[in-house]
Structure 1
Amino acid sequence: MNTDVVTKKAPSVSEKVLKNGLKVLVKEDHRAPIAVVQVWYRIGTSYEHEGITGLSHALEHMMFKGTESRKSGEFEVILSRIGAENNAFTSQDYTAYYEVLAAEHVETALELEGDRMRGLVLDKAEFEKEIEVVKEERRMRTDDNPNSVMREQFNAVAYLNNPYRAPVIGWMEDLDNMNLDDLKDWYAKWYAPNNATLVVAGDVEPEKIFALAEKYFGHHESMKLPEVKPRTEIPQIGPREIVIKAPAKVERLMMGFKTPGMISAKQGKVEKWEPYALDMLASILDGGSSARFSKNLVRGQEIAAGASAGYMGYGRMPQLFMISGVPATGVKIEDLRKALMAEIETMKTSLVTQEELDRVKAQVLASEIYQRDSVEHMATTIGALESTGLGWQLMDEYEKNILAVTAEQVQQVAKKYLNEDQMTFARLDPQSLEAGGNK
């Protein structure tokens, strides 16, 4: 065994940390001769500060340009010749790059990713063209989409000091004022082996992947990373409300409650079972046609055209328990709000039935089993958990922890977290284009 690495072995994932700090995780799946290669950098919008929002996402775009050894566009040509699919995505907590390809071509993907980890050439002319592409993406996906505008405005009000308040794509003013030096600085600071995780899943052998990782990434030096200051959201001391006026056809509402995340449980700030109980609570309210929102509000009272609930517990910081709804024709938005809050109140005062618990657990597990049938999904789960500080091992604990949730625990988290003093409420007030909507 090499003396310059630390090795670990686990039941479902093989792990090795190179001397330079790069963590390599390999998930074997020999059912088909394909593989997924992903490189995850622990840098996203939540690491940015005011004035530079969207920087992580803009850099993601530039990562497909030239390197010191390859011209711009050559990356795509090489991968297209071997029939590989490739792309990237940026979130609040990380930026990830991936290739899906025949397993025999894994080395090609690793060579390319190793090259652009530290060898990117950031060209002024390329940047000036690409930042306009990013701005147009923002106009199409957010500015011209009332639901996206609503969510963006909602986040900015729901959070005061938590960096999740900023949009991943960035505020337009920040994009207008972004320059090449900003990207060069961001790349130099964060794109380092000790700030990255390499995930390879599929028809591969761990020891061969470890050797290739050493070959193509091992020569990169570890970097002294910037100190990341804690920016945990301050306690909310009363309800917040916002009205968004935007061109749209229908009214809708959105409610978010401050809740702990999986990271809170890992840090011992809340009971370990609480995030799983919140996950179950969301599925009881909105988990198919038998769930309470659908059964009681859409079909029963016919007060909602649609209603949904979701728990976001997998970030590197605590997030929100979200509820949204669209009123049925002729129903006032305030009446829908009252009906949704009444459903929440019922969760606090009455235990859910064993039948509901069994149904949701069966649904959750069926979904989990189905998703694990996808090599790409497995790789993404591993990378996301690792990049948010939760650790890929959580993937193996999920089924056991969900099955252990009780009706009493579901009631406890409803009482503890779904109250109006921890709620932000948003209403979309549709505006017509003729009336001077801001499209």
Structure 2
Amino acid sequence: MKRSTILLALMASLGAGASSALAASPVSSAAVASNSAGAQQFKLSNGMGLIVQPDKRAPTAVHMVWVRVGSMDEVDGRSGLAHALEHMMFKGTATVAPGDFSRKVAALGGQDNAFTNRDYTGYYQQIPSGKLEDVMRLESDRFANNQWPDSEFKKEIEVIKEERRMRTDDNPRASLMEQLNAATWQASPYHRPVIGWMGDLDSMHPDDARQFHQAWYVPENAVVVVAGDVDVDKVRALAEKYYGSIPARALPERKPRPEPLQKGERRLDYKAPAEQAYVVMSFKVPDLRNLVEPKDSDKDAMALLMLGSVLSGYDGARLDRQLTQGANRVADATFSGSSVVNRGPSTFLLGGVPSQGKTAKDVETALRAEVARVAKDGVGEGELERVRTQWQASTVYERDSVFGQANDLGSNWALGLPLDTNDKLLSLMKTVTAAQVQAVAARYFGDDQMTVATLVPQPLTDADRAAQKRSGAAAKDGAVH
């Protein structure tokens, strides 16, 4: 959902404990937070959040509801529930028939969709601004009153299984990443795939989804985000009318589930029909938790973000230049990057595809050599300045889109980040020195915190090729429900 490598890394997924507690206040109270772009944050009378970002350039608006629940809130044996419930949220209420929600939004001249990841679930509608009240009425109804017959769930779970087959089972690299996550994390719920293990989908019952909705879809655990050609006071009044009247309920206790210290290298080979090998290394790294008074671990997380973008954040970056170009190239493609802003633990990934005549081990060795080179020789100030410029340009570009603004504000809230996150991150980036980037390259890339997954190609049949072609088309399509 973000437009640059570093932005992807930053917003990938902050601990729930880092979320600021905002005192409940009635609709007539002042905003509890604001930012330089004009966004204002409020608390509805039932504890639900509201963020409004006026943008008068066009008569359109984006309306979103973000729920701070994702696959990390599931339990073993019930993987995939957050995503399954996202699908079921389109299957009706007492007043809206199954499948009618999107048709009603389309009739208003809008479009809608939803998404689920490890940390949160989101729903959105992009509509003419004059239709905002209509979508608020629809969305608040399904948030509070989602209901459907068992038959709808039984049909939809088969759709989800097919989605898993197309996006994961028939995609060797996606399957490899699933296996890498499972090997990297033991106690952390991040070891489960967002879409769920197939066995869990097979045994999932309609009441599992209903109970998940009852537990997590509560006002205190959600925020309404509205951006576009709107009046702040009118949006607050509508939000209180449609969302503020939803009864407040207590949230379940969230267990911290800390990951135990890894004390040795982990490796796995994954055999699948494929044309080329593929290798990905996962290194456990610090989280970015505090943007106001960063600790040493926060500073290291920022330096790791910078390192990831120095290595592969732009055309001709270090990995591209050293590994994929010239007569001695070892890789057809490479990547690097860290996910340090999550509700759960963080990693730094290095990966690549061997070029003809080279092996996955050759790529692994070359990737680690580039990090070792940074640890030994450091980086140039010009490289860091390029990363900062990219981040600043991406932030400006993001603000040029009404959807981008709403999406940015919602994901920040879901991850426990303040409204002025982008400004704070840019300020922190300006403080990261070349010496800090060199230091993290030396500190976090040893064997003991590393997990390596290698795709071992197996012979391809015509059926395999057809399945992988469908998988690629599904990934390109990008539909999320």
After TM superposition, the structure 1 stretch with the greater mean CA deviation from structure 2, 68-77 or 218-227, is 68-77
Unaligned runs of 5+ in 2: 1-24, 468-481
Aligned partners of 1:41 and 1:95 also within 8 Å = yes
SS at match of 2:298: coil
| Other-structure match for 1:314 | 341
Identical columns (%) = 41
| Other-structure match for 1:360 | 387
SS at match of 1:263: coil
When normalised by structure 1's length, the TM-score is 0.95
After TM superposition, the structure 1 stretch with the greater mean CA deviation from structure 2, 114-123 or 71-80, is 71-80
Alpha-carbon distance in structure 2 between the residues aligned to 1:71 and 1:434: 43
Aligned partners of 1:44 and 1:95 also within 8 Å = yes
SS at match of 2:174: helix
Shift of 1:22: 0.4
Deviations 1:136-175 (A, max 9, x none): 1001110000011100011000111111111100000000
Alpha-carbon distance in structure 2 between the residues aligned to 1:392 and 1:255: 33
**The one of 295, 298, 312 aligned to 1:272:** 298
CA 1:431–1:125: 2 relative to 1, 3 Å: same
- Larger relative CO (CA 8 A, sep 6+): 1 or 2? 2
Residue correspondences, number: 439
Shift of 1:367: 2.1
SS at match of 1:262: coil
SS at match of 1:279: helix
Aligned partners of 2:273 and 2:464 also within 8 Å = yes
Deviations 1:62-101 (A, max 9, x none): 1001102222232122111122110000010111100011
Shift of 1:426: 0.8
| Other-structure match for 1:37 | 63
| Other-structure match for 1:390 | 417
| Other-structure match for 2:3 | none
| Other-structure match for 1:420 | 447
| Other-structure match for 1:98 | 124
1:29 alignment partner AA: D
Alpha-carbon distance in structure 2 between the residues aligned to 1:89 and 1:104: 25
2:32 alignment partner AA: K
Shift of 1:231: 1.3
| Other-structure match for 2:90 | 64
Aligned partners of 1:246 and 1:437 also within 8 Å = no
| Other-structure match for 1:10 | 34
1:401 aligns with 2:428: yes
1:382 alignment partner AA: L
**Hey, which bits of structure 1, 4+ residues long, moved more than 3 A?**
1-7, 264-272, 433-439
SS at match of 2:32: strand
Alpha-carbon distance in structure 1 between the residues aligned to 2:451 and 2:363: 16
Alpha-carbon distance in structure 1 between the residues aligned to 2:263 and 2:296: 19
Alpha-carbon distance in structure 2 between the residues aligned to 1:76 and 1:67: 13
**The one of 270, 282, 285 aligned to 2:308:** 282
Alpha-carbon distance in structure 1 between the residues aligned to 2:313 and 2:29: 45
After TM superposition, the structure 1 stretch with the greater mean CA deviation from structure 2, 343-352 or 361-370, is 361-370
Unaligned runs of 5+ in 1: none
After TM superposition, the structure 1 stretch with the greater mean CA deviation from structure 2, 344-353 or 129-138, is 344-353
CA 1:337–1:9: 2 relative to 1, 3 Å: closer
Shift of 1:43: 0.9
1:343 aligns with 2:343: no
SS at match of 1:67: coil
RMSD of Structure 2 on Structure 1 (CA): 2.1
Aligned partners of 1:155 and 1:165 also within 8 Å = yes
Deviations 1:312-351 (A, max 9, x none): 1221122211111011111122122111111011111122
Alpha-carbon distance in structure 2 between the residues aligned to 1:78 and 1:413: 52
